Structure 1
Amino acid sequence: MPEATPHDPTPAVPADTASSVTGRIELYTHEPMVNWLSPLQLLMTAVRVAVAQIIGAFADARAVQAALNPAVSNPPMQVSAGSDGATWVDYLADTGDGWHSTYSMALCVSQPVHLQGENQALPRAGVLLLGGDQVYPTPANSGYRTRFLDPFRAAFPAPVPADATANSEIPIVVPDAPLMVATPGNHDWYDGLRGFAQLFCIGEPIGGWRTAQRTSYYVLQLPHGWWIWGLDLQLESEIDRQQYEYFRGMHAKLAPGDRVVLCTPEPSWIDEMQRVARSQRRTLPTMETRTPRFRSLSRIELLLGDHLAVVLAGDMHHYARYTPRTGTDGPERFTCGGGGAFLHGTHQLPETPSPISIGATRQHYRLADSVYPDKATSRRLRDRAWQLPARNASFCALVALLYFLLDWILHSATPPAGSMIGSGGLMAALSQVEVGFAQTPDVWRLLLRALARSPSSVLFILAIVAFFAALATRGPKGLFSLDGLAGALHGLLHVALAFALLWVFTRINVHHFGIHAADWRLVPLLLIEILFVGGLLGGLLFGIWMVLANRLWGLHMEEVFSSQGIDDYKCLLRMRFDADTLTIHPLKLESVCRRWSLGQGVQALRKFGHTWRLRANPDARGPRFVPASGETPPPMAIQRIEAPIVVHRHPQRTSP
């Protein structure tokens, strides 16, 4: 966890003298990365997702926003050019996870970027586009405050007035402040968009940034005929009628030759490319159709036509660019979700995907060479997922607890008198079988006889198998597909491990330790043994299976990375809009900072857990936390992912 170093540049102020010192009291929480396999986290997130989907189906917050903000009162936000005639815009998506990664990226977008290894600096942008999922896992429990607001306000704080009171929380409006606009992702919708609207749609500043959008969708009008449109496609719904009519009105404002950069919550074109490829491989017609988000995106793209220049998306936490194949037309399509959340791999991205259709036009794409991380690195990081027990002890404990419950339920099934198992129960029978490979058939016969008399055990096993089958079949594939069968095999391996643990520990406890099979002490002893050994072996089985299943069948692409919580390999786009060209600089931060000291003009009053209570003096202007001695400041460690991509405002049209 982040700690202030012993050589902090400013000493702590005693709490009892705080009231006599001028300055502003500020609180910052250094949150760790979300543990996506934590049992409690899994349960809470699942409940939030279910509630959000149910409520979203009946009450769409976008309709309320449209009613309160009709198009006449929601005009395009005007963006001015800089002194050199250019407009600089940053794109950052999937923020709001751990402090180290999110704060490092917040520092990058709040300052000029000095390209490592080059004698060049890119100026700070006048607009920050947030591409979705500003908070993880959900907005609940002050999620926006601790995981988004704290790092961004600390990286680019508003100035402290000379007459600031000790507990001042009054927003400070900064003249000519850069603009922050946001597109909601699925995680922003898990509270029905309430927190998102309160944060971005009421016009209050966020640190040194200003906000101006009135709804969760927006339009920016830049100089020289450039526009930026931001879509809100909710969870899995179609674009709402009011939003579509709003963009139809904005389309009427476009002049001939104007170009639009489109921001969408997720790269749904990749799903569409894979869907088309699946349909081409099948000999029988398929009922699989476009996802709602791609249908909605294609409607807006069809509306824009030749005005569309670039499509930006987050959601996938890596950098990838799909560019039109030589001789074909279409917008450049970027995925850049490296704002702070855990890393996603790139090794399964299709190189030359099947063409997608926008209206009657078929667009042919290829994957640009410079994905980030590169595919070799992605595979290497994937292969580390077997180390699951070292990273997710609580998840391994949950797996071990399921083993114990299955074994306990099976043992508790009372056999009839004179059965093969005998009056001593399953444990007494197992304790008589020496542990060894040759004895495995005898053990399985015992277990099958016990299962025949324990319907609850059979149901428990079926539930385990169904869970792992469902885990392997995200998307359109059903439980009875090949992926589902592979997942079912994974579940059966865990069931077999649970039985093996019961056999081994029963043999040790009853035969070697001399504890009677009916002794009550055998149950808590078995629980302790399975928690430690079963947790380790179960975690290893889960981790190794994820790696092998991904290598062999491409399964568990999400879990193989989310289970690791990799906070390095971040990325952003810094874009320059000129009269005739848009120049996009894809940038990467390979390693985030992990050791912090207090910034200039900041005093530590107290630290409780992960939360800092600071006093910012009137002369405090820079970041509240700076890299500790020996750490490279994130803006100085930025490198290029690939050469700048130039998009012309008046492109020459080509024919396939």
Structure 2
Amino acid sequence: MKEYDGPQCFIIPGNHDWFDGLHTFMRYICHKSWLGGWFLPQKKSYFALQLPMGWWIFGLDLALHGDIDVYQFKFFTDLCRNKVGENDSVIIITHEPNWLLDWYWKETTGKNVAHLIQEYLYGRCKLRMAGDLHHFMRHSATRSEKPNFVQHLLVNGCGGAFLHPTHVFKNFERFSGTTYECKAAYPSYDESSGIALGNILKFRKKNWQFDIIGGFIYFILVFSMFPQCNLVHILNEETWSGRLRSFSSTIWNALLYIFEHSYVSSVGSLTLLMASYSFVPSKLSRRKRAVIGGLHVLAHLTAALLLMLLLELGIEICIRNHLLATSGYHTLYEWYRSMESEHFPDPTGLRARLEQWTLGLYPACIKYLMSAFDVPEVMAVTRINICKNGMMSLSRSVLIMYYTSVFIYFWIFSTPVVSLIFGSYLYICINWFHIHFDEAFSSLRIANYKSFTRFHIKKDGDLEIFTLAVDKVPKGWKLDPKWESEVRGPHQLSHHRKHPSKWKSASSPDPVRSVRVVDHFTIERTRTPVTKPSF
């Protein structure tokens, strides 16, 4: 390491690295020496670096438990006793910001890390830094007579696949007995809250696959409600207020019918209720989870019943105006035969002979193929038969054909509504109750708001910290002609080149020119050792 003056890379594993027991991390990081032109001297999942002017970096591996194991604890405590001086300053890096997550989830994790900081580093830990949350936030300890164990808490996980909100953690202010104040947040609280609004209108656009299951769930909720045979009272009302009252009472009666008499719809509703309750984060009390989950299901169930009734009313109006159910199941075929006879007469009897030669397949195939495309007529005729003679009067194949026809139309009508309600649910939860911060922002798939943090040790030993950000990242890249045309030696390392990057943005503005500093502060080096009180 002392002989190599090029860039070196030290890495701590995160939760994704531990999903395979750290196998991939050890294989490509610890068991190799180079990665993309960077030297990898690290041989374990944790490390300690001694920097100039009395600065240290401790990289801790929290695994999936939110804490270091006994081997790491012994390694770092021995280092604190024997290597770290009284005037030295330490930066601790973990993949997870337990100060924010413990406050949010109302938990206490990282007891070994806390013991290391409070008992062995006592006052020498100037900064704790973490990622995991895909945003940037910095909290600094307020002035107090009581000693603080960590001066600054910094989260920068903006390299993550999608953006996380900052306004959810707006009220954080206490950690390990010290009061902290938020000095910087990226995106800002107002921006973060405004971004969440996108769930209402953009959820379906970003998550179109949700239509497949969403429309199916809505159909299950109202499956037992088809058909609605007694809708005449709504259409016979003379005023709009009367129609609205009759419409509302029909919705209410259908809701009661689901839980009192139906099988498929009641099971679907109860299953959705249990799933919705489980979906609400466990940080809330059971009562609040039940209320939020219940209201969520009620909104979906009401919307499904509303769409069901509107579809049934549409069919009823078409039947009353003789637009449907005028010639049985094969209206389209009868129209085709009449047009065929009118415009293509058959004086030689060719069509009759074709029917005889094909054993009846010639007209039958056309007849049933047209019936498959005449979905509204199938719905209307079958609906009339069910309302007149009951379900038991029809064969299973006819019922399957009817419910398939209903499902096609109902699915088309319901998919925009289910996405709108679920997106509104996420917006209300993230902005009013500060829950579902992961689901509400991952659904938006925002790749912008990227940032990274750089450190600079000044000549006097103070540490300057810059966080640089790019609000909008490019979606396409192209080969940089400056990199391609640069004359380079056969053994010239990439970091010595004038244009070290092979790629540049394919669109403007170039992130190199649009980057801005969103946070800059200085941590003074320790000049007077902090004495630990004896008890």
TM superposition score category, shorter chain reference = 0.7 to 0.9
Residue 39 of structure 2 is aligned to residue 210 of structure 1 = yes
Q: What does 1:33-48 correspond to in 2, within 5 Å?
A: none
> CA 1:394–1:642 in structure 2 vs 1: closer, same or farther (change >3 Å)?
same
Q: Which residue of 2 aligns with 1:150?
A: none
Q: How far is the alpha carbon of 1:585 from its aligned partner?
A: 0.9
Q: What does 1:327-406 correspond to in 2, within 5 Å?
A: 327=144, 329=148, 330-351=150-171, 353=173, 355-357=174-176, 362-368=177-183, 370-387=184-201, 388-406=203-221
SS of 1:306's partner is coil
Q: How far is the alpha carbon of 1:511 from its aligned partner?
A: 5.7
CA distance in 2, matches of 1:570, 1:564: 15
Deviations 1:575-596 (A, max 9, x none): 0124521111121111112232
Q: Which residue of 1 aligns with 2:55?
A: 226
Q: Which residue of 1 aligns with 2:407?
A: 527
CA distance in 2, matches of 1:457, 1:349: 40
CA distance in 2, matches of 1:485, 1:394: 28
Q: Which residue of 1 aligns with 2:501?
A: 623
Q: What does 1:258-273 correspond to in 2, within 5 Å?
A: 258-273=88-103
Q: Which residue of 2 aligns with 1:497?
A: 303
> CA 1:533–1:224 in structure 2 vs 1: closer, same or farther (change >3 Å)?
same
SS of 1:371's partner is strand
Q: What does 1:106-255 correspond to in 2, within 5 Å?
A: 176-236=5-65, 238-252=67-81, 253-255=83-85
- Structure 1 contact 432–511 (Cα < 8 Å) conserved: no
Deviations 1:549-574 (A, max 9, x none): 33332233222221111111111111
- Structure 1 contact 312–336 (Cα < 8 Å) conserved: yes
Residue 479 of structure 2 is aligned to residue 598 of structure 1 = yes
> CA 1:312–1:267 in structure 2 vs 1: closer, same or farther (change >3 Å)?
same
**In the alignment, which of 422, 425, 429 is matched to residue 542 of structure 1?**
422
CA distance in 2, matches of 1:511, 1:296: 71
Structure 2 letter corresponding to 1:331? Q
Q: CA RMSD in A?
A: 3.0
Higher Cα Rg: structure 1 or 2? 2
**In the alignment, which of 315, 326, 333 is matched to residue 143 of structure 2?**
326
Which structure features the higher share of helix residues? 2
Q: How far is the alpha carbon of 1:350 from its aligned partner?
A: 3.2
Structure 1 letter corresponding to 2:121? L
Farther-moved stretch of structure 1 (591-600 vs 567-576): 591-600
SS of 2:426's partner is helix
Structure 2 letter corresponding to 1:645? T
Residue 126 of structure 2 is aligned to residue 309 of structure 1 = yes
TM-score, with length taken from structure 2: 0.73
> CA 1:534–1:363 in structure 2 vs 1: closer, same or farther (change >3 Å)?
same
Structure 2 letter corresponding to 1:501? L
Q: Which residue of 1 aligns with 2:229?
A: 429
Q: Which residue of 1 aligns with 2:467?
A: 586
CA distance in 1, matches of 2:528, 2:417: 59
Q: How far is the alpha carbon of 1:240 from its aligned partner?
A: 1.8
CA distance in 2, matches of 1:206, 1:593: 24
SS of 1:585's partner is strand
Q: How far is the alpha carbon of 1:527 from its aligned partner?
A: 2.5
CA distance in 1, matches of 2:137, 2:157: 9
> CA 1:352–1:456 in structure 2 vs 1: closer, same or farther (change >3 Å)?
closer
- Structure 1 contact 318–373 (Cα < 8 Å) conserved: yes
- Structure 2 contact 137–156 (Cα < 8 Å) conserved: yes
- Structure 1 contact 430–443 (Cα < 8 Å) conserved: no
CA distance in 2, matches of 1:320, 1:261: 16
CA distance in 2, matches of 1:530, 1:187: 40
CA distance in 2, matches of 1:179, 1:269: 29
Structure 2 letter corresponding to 1:266? E
> CA 1:327–1:651 in structure 2 vs 1: closer, same or farther (change >3 Å)?
farther
Structure 1 letter corresponding to 2:113? L
**In the alignment, which of 534, 538, 555 is matched to residue 435 of structure 2?**
555
**In the alignment, which of 247, 260, 269 is matched to residue 452 of structure 1?**
260
Residue 427 of structure 2 is aligned to residue 570 of structure 1 = no
SS of 1:427's partner is coil
- Structure 1 contact 317–338 (Cα < 8 Å) conserved: yes
Q: Which residue of 1 aligns with 2:370?
A: none
Residue 278 of structure 2 is aligned to residue 470 of structure 1 = yes
Q: How far is the alpha carbon of 1:640 from its aligned partner?
A: 0.9
Q: How far is the alpha carbon of 1:335 from its aligned partner?
A: 0.8
Structure 1 letter corresponding to 2:158? G
Deviations 1:450-469 (A, max 9, x none): 54334453332122122222
SS of 1:215's partner is coil
Q: How far is the alpha carbon of 1:337 from its aligned partner?
A: 1.0
- Structure 2 contact 58–92 (Cα < 8 Å) conserved: yes
- Structure 1 contact 546–556 (Cα < 8 Å) conserved: yes
- Structure 2 contact 456–463 (Cα < 8 Å) conserved: yes
> CA 1:268–1:237 in structure 2 vs 1: closer, same or farther (change >3 Å)?
closer
Count of aligned pairs = 433
Q: How far is the alpha carbon of 1:316 from its aligned partner?
A: 1.4
Which is bigger in relative contact order (C-alpha 8 A, separation at least 6)?
Answer: 1
Q: Which residue of 1 aligns with 2:369?
A: none
- Structure 2 contact 156–452 (Cα < 8 Å) conserved: yes
SS of 1:573's partner is strand
Structure 2 letter corresponding to 1:405? I
Structure 2 letter corresponding to 1:235? L
**In the alignment, which of 482, 491, 498 is matched to residue 288 of structure 2?**
482
SS of 1:591's partner is coil
Q: How far is the alpha carbon of 1:223 from its aligned partner?
A: 2.4
Q: How far is the alpha carbon of 1:224 from its aligned partner?
A: 2.5
> CA 1:245–1:500 in structure 2 vs 1: closer, same or farther (change >3 Å)?
same
Structure 1 residue runs of 5 or longer lacking an equivalent are 1-77, 81-174, 276-287, 412-425, 604-616
Q: How far is the alpha carbon of 1:490 from its aligned partner?
A: 0.9
SS of 1:348's partner is helix
> CA 1:430–1:317 in structure 2 vs 1: closer, same or farther (change >3 Å)?
farther
CA distance in 2, matches of 1:434, 1:190: 58
SS of 2:257's partner is helix
Q: Which residue of 2 aligns with 1:169?
A: none
Deviations 1:54-110 (A, max 9, x none): xxxxxxxxxxxxxxxxxxxxxxxx679xxxxxxxxxxxxxxxxxxxxxxxxxxxxxx
> CA 1:591–1:348 in structure 2 vs 1: closer, same or farther (change >3 Å)?
same
TM-score, with length taken from structure 1: 0.61
Farther-moved stretch of structure 1 (536-545 vs 462-471): 462-471
> CA 1:466–1:654 in structure 2 vs 1: closer, same or farther (change >3 Å)?
farther
**In the alignment, which of 627, 633, 641 is matched to residue 510 of structure 2?**
633
- Structure 2 contact 87–529 (Cα < 8 Å) conserved: no
Q: How far is the alpha carbon of 1:652 from its aligned partner?
A: 8.0
Q: Which residue of 2 aligns with 1:133?
A: none
Deviations 1:498-543 (A, max 9, x none): 2222222233346634421354433233332233321111111111
- Structure 1 contact 595–631 (Cα < 8 Å) conserved: no
- Structure 1 contact 346–374 (Cα < 8 Å) conserved: yes
SS of 2:10's partner is strand
Q: How far is the alpha carbon of 1:633 from its aligned partner?
A: 3.1
Deviations 1:206-248 (A, max 9, x none): 1111212222222122222211111111223543222222222
Structure 1 letter corresponding to 2:219? F
CA distance in 1, matches of 2:220, 2:514: 50
SS of 1:481's partner is helix
Q: Which residue of 1 aligns with 2:333?
A: none
- Structure 1 contact 79–221 (Cα < 8 Å) conserved: no
Farther-moved stretch of structure 1 (215-224 vs 448-457): 448-457
The percentage of aligned residue pairs carrying the same residue is 25
